[in-house]
């Protein structure tokens, strides 16, 4: 959002979970559409984060 609260980008995510030969495949399709001039930079941090909620070590 810009300083006036207007969106500068529209994000769309399509998540697909499937089972193949007893293993699970999680696919993410991500699309971003700029509503104004947008600059996307590169950083040393940040990525898709997935926490396995079924693992007892990963309790919220």
Give the model's pLDDT for residue 46: 60
Collapsing DSSP to helix, strand or coil, 32 comes out as strand
- pLDDT tens-digit readout, 12-50: 999 999 998 999 998 989 898 999 988 777 766 666 566
Structure tokens at 3: 């300083």
Structure tokens at 34: 């700029």
Structure tokens at 15: 């998540």
pTM for the full predicted model: 0.53
H/E element, 18: strand 9-20
Q: Is the pLDDT of residue 59 over 60?
A: no
Q: Of 18, 10, 15, 17, whose CA–CA distance to 48 is shortest?
A: 15
Q: Is the pLDDT of residue 52 over 70?
A: no
Tokens 């993410």 locate to 28
């Amino acid at each position: 959002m810009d300083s006036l609260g207007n969106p500068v980008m529209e994000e769309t995510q399509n998540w697909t979970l499937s089972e193949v030969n007893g293993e699970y495949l999680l696919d993410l399709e991500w699309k971003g559409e700029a509503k104004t001039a947008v600059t996307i930079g590169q950083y040393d941090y940040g990525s898709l984060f997935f926490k396995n909620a079924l693992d007892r070590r990963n309790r919220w």
